[in-house]
Chain A
Amino acid sequence: GQQLNQSPQSMFIQEGEDVSMNCTSSSIFNTWLWYKQDPGEGPVLLIALYKAGELTSNGRLTAQFGITRKDSFLNISASIPSDVGIYFCAGQGNTGNQFYFGTGTSLTVIP
């Protein structure tokens, strides 16, 4: 299957700091999704991106669809304790209809 690599693998930040994480693929994708997963729960959709270069915000979250179509970025501004969790990217490309999930970025926010 497709490999999506996320970096960093984990982050420890102070409350109030901004966060940046990214997701890269060796293949072109047509759609990028960002999900957040809390412990013991399912992934919750944060942002969906459908066009190269697209920049979309959801509150303090902003995500971008990279112009090469092989990457995507998620930024969180002014982090708060409830931002803690694992953030997954998911991409859908030209090989079938399934979404491929990234390896995840674990975020810890220190109050």
Chain B
Amino acid sequence: EPEVTQTPSHQVTQMGQEVILRCVPISNHLYFYWYRQILGQKVEFLVSFYNNEISEKSEIFDDQFSVERPDGSNFTLKIRSTKLEDSAMYFCASSFAGPPQPQHFGDGTRLSIL
């Protein structure tokens, strides 16, 4: 069964450094998402992306965050200047159509900010 893949599985970064998290969505999917899950808490929506532009974003997704689809297969999340509170699991998801179509999640990248 096709799946969403994310790399790296664990990223350790010094506070203030830039970090890029990478995702390869399911190949025929058109909608892409990033979510965050702080340890022990619920999954929180960050941003949705369709047709090469952001379609919706949450208040968490401030100017430090950006997303890009640099080619036909990758979808990236960049955090420009990381803070301690950015430490979390970051999940990429994709769907063939927009909501209410269910989203399929990758296994996440654990981001640890030191």
Do A and B make up one complex?
yes
Residues of A within 8 A of B (CB): 1, 30-31, 33, 35, 40-45, 48, 50, 88, 90, 92, 96-104
CB closest residue in chain A, given B44:
A101
B107 at the interface (CB under 8 A from A): yes
- 19 pairs from A and B in contact (CB 8 Å cutoff): A1-B44, A1-B45, A40-B107, A40-B108, A41-B107, A42-B106, A42-B108, A43-B43, A45-B105, A48-B102, A92-B99, A92-B100, A97-B55, A97-B56, A100-B45, A101-B42, A101-B44, A102-B42, A104-B42
Q: Which B residues are CB-close (under 8 A) to A104?
A: 42
Q: Which A residues are CB-close (under 8 A) to B100?
A: 30-31, 48, 50, 92
> Is the Cβ of A42 less than 8 Å from the Cβ of B99?
no
Bound-state CA distance A79–B71 (Å) is: 44
Bound-state CA distance A90–B99 (Å) is: 12
Which of B56, B58, B99 meets A31, CB within 8 Å?
A: B99
Which of B4, B48, B106, B107 meets A98, CB within 8 Å?
A: B48
Bound-state CA distance A82–B68 (Å) is: 37
Q: Which B residues are CB-close (under 8 A) to A40?
A: 107-108
Question: In residues 6-42 of chain B, which contact A (Cβ within 8 Å)?
Answer: 35, 42
- Interface footprint category on B: 20 to 34
Mark each residue of chain B from 67 to 100: 1 if its CB lies under 8 Å from any CB of chain A, else 0: 0000000000000000000000001010000111
Residues of B within 8 A of A (CB): 4, 35, 42-45, 48, 55-56, 58-59, 91, 93, 98-100, 102-108
> Is the Cβ of A98 less than 8 Å from the Cβ of B99?
yes
Q: Which B residues are CB-close (under 8 A) to A92?
A: 99-100
> Is the Cβ of B58 less than 8 Å from the Cβ of A33?
no
CB closest residue in chain A, given B4:
A42
Given A1-B58, A43-B91, decide whether A101 and B104 contact each other with a Cβ distance below 8 A: no
Which of B45, B98, B104, B108 meets A45, CB within 8 Å?
A: B104
B51 to chain A, nearest CB (A): 14
